[in-house]
Amino acid sequence: MWIYLFFMFILIGCSSLEKSESSNEKYLVLKGANLYSVGKKSEALKMYEDALKLNPQNLVALREKGIILAQLENLKAGEKNLDLVFKKNPNDIIVLKNLAYICFKKKEYSKSFEYLEKIPNDLKSDQDYLMLAYIQYLNRNYKDSLINYNLIKNDIMYSNSLFFESYLEVLEEEYDQVTQVKILLLIEEKIVYSQKNTIVLFNFYKNSLKRYELAEKVMKNYLTHNSLNNEILQKLSNLYSDMGKKEESLKTLNLILR
């Protein structure tokens, strides 16, 4: 989910600089961007730190240093650096987005929400809407949570069981069962390769909606597109047993890999 934004001309600009300028902070920042672009985070971090030795007020170097530190799981130091930039430039969108994500990862949801709210709507990404929706779900603000979930344009929420499960609960709070089922039937194909989310939807159909035939369908759909899976087969066998389909239950149980 990390965001790292940099202008393309910066990423390619370093090659045109002379070696004699290697001590120049501009060169170091450009070099850091280039190193980061090829996955060399630690080396990029060193460039930004060297640039800051020359000019501690270089906000670009400070911002990029903060982002990399957070990506390297030093959330405290990353947040500290980004917060220094935020105090100087509270409208820096990259800073706002990354501070929001750091706080979200630390489960400091109120702070994360505050940063997200400062981002103009036309600059919010699917990731931003996803975090907003989840925080509003935690606060039981289901109406606004659903609004933000519906603003997500890609399939990001279907790749994470935490967000997907919260989305199902929001649907349950805001819609009648008929509408829920209509929405969920459209979602089934989006999770067909995800074992975790298949089980989440299976449990929702079975336990929340009491729609055993839909629970059966989502499991069989998974098995159609993936190799046999013991957990899926066991749950499906148990479902057949609950439905009184003893023969189907035994047949499914016999498919479990020993």
Sketch out the chain's domains with CATH numbers.
1-106 (1.25.40.10), 191-258 (1.25.40)
- Write down the residue that tokens 């501070």 correspond to: 99
Q: What average pLDDT does this structure show over 133-160? A: 93
Res 258 pLDDT > 90: no
Handedness of CA 11, 16, 22, 24 (dihedral sign): negative
Query: Do residues 3 and 96 lie in contact, with contact meaning Cβ atoms separated by under 8 Å?
Result: no
Q: Is the pLDDT of residue 115 over 50?
A: yes
Where is pLDDT greater, at 90 or 161? 90
Task: Check residue 23 and give its pLDDT.
Answer: 57
pLDDT over 50 at 41, yes or no: yes
| pTM for this model (two decimals) | 0.83
- Say how far apart CA 52 and CA 29 lie, in whole Å: 9
* Average pLDDT of the residues in 236-255: 95
Overall average pLDDT of the 84-98 stretch: 95
Specify the pLDDT at position 122: 95
Cβ atoms of residues 132 and 116 within 8 Å: yes
| Alpha carbon distance 251, 35 (integer Å) | 56
